[in-house]
Amino acid sequence: MAGSSSNGPISTASSGANHSISFSGRARRARSTIAGVSGSVAGLAIRQTTVDITTTIGREWTKAKDGFCLIGGSTASGKSALALALAEATGGVVVNADSVQLYRSLPILTAQPSASDLARAEHRLYGILDDLAPNSVAAWLERAVATIQEVQPRLAIVTGGTGFYLEALLRGAPTTPPTPPELRARSQARLAELGPAAFAAELQALDPQLAARGLPADPQRRLRAWEVLTLTGRSILAWQASPSLPPNLPPFRGGIALVPPRDHIWPRIRQRTEAMLDAGVLAELAAWRARPTSAASPLAKADGVVELGRYLDGTTSLDAATEALIVKVRRYAKRQRTWLRNRLPELAQVTTPGELVRWER
């Protein structure tokens, strides 16, 4: 459960030897000398910077009694803090636009809202899916549109780091047909039968159009491409190129993209990782990995599952695993910033962390 922790070591088998694993983040930091900006210094630097949103967006948000707004941004940019503050100020509802936060498991690792956050404002579309539940941009869009319409006349504050979700909300999503459960079972059985490499080779042979562009690295997206081709006889690329209609939504009240500079984001990512360790993420992940469904879950690709899993398996130190996770998340944050700048020009770029953003009331 979120917030659970265990400070005692556990013993697991690793290559025939016992490997002592501590679930304590505090113990790790007491002996860690990882290079980088310290949390206290970074926090001080961040607190000295504020920004006022006195543009039309700020006025629209605080005066709005209906409609929806968007808060995008890179990882650790303060999206959730800003969305929560805005929901409290307006009586609005926070709507999730992050793909991994849709899943019920691993709430600490995926940084889902805390119990205190949930008590301060209503949140929707967090922790609604089981481990093996499939998901797609179109499926999220259908849920999000229904939620935004349902909460009217309150302001729906849509926030998250999955850029494809935000883009679909503004412009629509391709009408790719959903995968029937029996076909999903067939695709997973085929993958298990062939193995990842042979499955990829088969997909390339069956779908030359996709092969020419390059297969997606994500195993779930490869499964989806195989399923669409099997179901319809058309490449998933052909479906994605089909015109899509914007969803039927109440008024759009504007949006922002939180893109603080690297010298703010990098220490915040480290601080967030440290906080997850203190909150019990290792115990949470160990319990989840013990489930028979974990390996096939879309959550298996969430940041931290592989990196911290190596520590739990006894193949690396906790310092090394933590540093590997921080580096991975920093790279992802960089890609998010680039994506938001190039793909969502509708969102005003704000270079201040979300909890320090102020708006005209």
Contact 297, 132 (CB under 8 A): yes
**Which tens digits make up the pLDDT trace of 34-72?**
222 222 222 222 232 334 444 445 556 666 678 999 999
Tell me the one-letter amino acid at 52.
D
Residue, of 58 and 357, whose pLDDT is higher: 357
- The answer to which of 9-13, 176-180, 288-292 has the lowest mean pLDDT is 9-13
Q: Give the pairing type, strands 156-159 and 68-73.
A: parallel
**Which tens digits make up the pLDDT trace of 126-181?**
999 999 998 888 889 999 999 999 999 999 999 999 999 999 999 888 778 888 88
What is the reported pLDDT for 325? 98
What is the reported pLDDT for 179? 86
Architecture of domain 181-240: Orthogonal Bundle (1.10)
* Euclidean distance between CA atoms 155 and 91, whole angstroms: 7
pLDDT surpassing 90 at residue 302: yes
Q: What is the DSSP letter of 345?
A: T
What is the reported pLDDT for 36? 27
The pLDDT-based confidence of 359 (bands split at 50, 70, 90) is low
What is the reported pLDDT for 354? 81
Residue, of 59 and 84, whose pLDDT is higher: 84
**Which tens digits make up the pLDDT trace of 225-242?**
999 999 999 999 998 887
pLDDT surpassing 80 at residue 186: yes
What is the fold, at CATH topology level, of the domain defined by 35-45+262-337? Helix Hairpins (1.10.287)
Average pLDDT estimate for 319-345: 94
- The answer to which of 53-67, 189-203, 274-288, 329-343 has the lowest mean pLDDT is 53-67
What is the reported pLDDT for 217? 80
Contacts of 56 (CB under 8 A, 6+ apart): 254
What is the reported pLDDT for 45? 29
Q: How far apart are the first and last CA of the chain?
A: 38
pLDDT surpassing 70 at residue 206: yes
Strands (DSSP E) found in 245-294: 252-258
- 315-334 burial, b for 16+ CB within 10 Å, e for fewer? ebebeebbbbbbeebbeebe
Sequence spans of domains, the chain: 35-45+262-337, 49-175+245-261+340-359, 181-240
| Helix and strand numbers, DSSP H then E, in the chain | 16, 10
* Euclidean distance between CA atoms 115 and 117, whole angstroms: 5
Return the CATH number of the domain spanning residue range 49-175+245-261+340-359: 3.40.50.300
What is the reported pLDDT for 58? 57
Contacts of 32 (CB under 8 A, 6+ apart): 319, 322
Q: Give the pairing type, strands 9-14 and 17-22.
A: antiparallel
pLDDT surpassing 60 at residue 95: yes
**Which tens digits make up the pLDDT trace of 230-274?**
999 999 999 888 767 678 899 998 899 999 999 999 999 999 999
* Euclidean distance between CA atoms 92 and 90, whole angstroms: 5
Residue, of 23 and 353, whose pLDDT is higher: 353
What is the reported pLDDT for 57? 54
Mean pLDDT of the chain: 82
pLDDT surpassing 90 at residue 291: yes
Q: What helix, strand, coil percent values describe the chain, rounded to 5? A: 55, 15, 35
